[in-house]
Amino acid sequence: MTANYGVTVYAQYNGKPTINTLQASFAESVSIDDSLEQMRLYGWDIDYAFGDGLDIIGARVGVSRLVDVPAIFPVTVAPGLRNLDDDQYRALIRARAASNIAKAAPGWSNPILQAFFAGIGNASVQTTGVMTARFVINGLPQDWQFAVLRDELAFPRATGVLYDVSVEAPFFGFAEADSWQPFDQGVFAP
């Protein structure tokens, strides 16, 4: 968006070096090109937005940064209301935006779940009976992710279908414990 200030100068002064320099300097100092680009990145592009810009995008898709983290989750550091940081909120916004245009069917929900729980393990929706379904996470999600799933903040759900959440994490076992000792090795201290 470059301004053509030459049309605003009388014909007798147009093309003079001093006027051209003044026009170029003025155009550069009042140009809103950079501001428009920053506004686009800050309030519209989820990859570049941060802070209040993410709050604007979140409000647009219908999700808040504030999440109620349950106290019953095994690794909850501080239960209660918590503001998500920018990366967590960005993941929530992406999941909510995708679910806003998705059908509430496992074929549509599974890719959204897998993207949301990436790096944790496999996540899917399973039909468990007539009008019942289960969100299954094979891995241990973070407490805020569990709260998002439990509170129906981001994933499409069919009307009238009862959903439950199943976390199938490897809480106990020997395959994952390379350096741990089996039973009857050492002293058990209560």
Give per-residue pLDDT as tens, 77-136: 677 888 888 899 998 898 888 888 877 777 778 888 888 888 888 888 888 888 888 888
**Residue 1's pLDDT is what?**
45
70 against 67, higher pLDDT: 67
66, pLDDT greater than 70: yes
**Residue 181's pLDDT is what?**
57
Token pair 């009008």 is at which residue? 131
Which residues does 134 contact at the CB level (< 8 Å), separation at least 6? 125, 126, 128, 163, 164, 165, 166
- Of 23-27, 49-53, 60-64, 153-157, highest mean pLDDT: 60-64
Compute the distance between CA of residue 125 and CA of residue 127 in angstroms, rounded to an integer.
7
Lowest-confidence range among 52-61, 91-100, 162-171?
162-171
**Residue 160's pLDDT is what?**
83
- What residue ranges do the domains of the chain occupy? 5-31, 54-167
Closest CA to 114 of 86, 85, 94: 94
pTM: 0.65
Interior angle at CA 88, CA 84 and CA 94, nearest 5: 120
Q: What is the token pair recorded at 31?
A: 């140009």
* Alpha helical stretches, state H, 31-105: 33-43, 52-61, 86-100
Compute the distance between CA of residue 43 and CA of residue 66 in angstroms, rounded to an integer.
19
Helices 86-100 and 106-116 pack at an angle, to 10 degrees, of 170
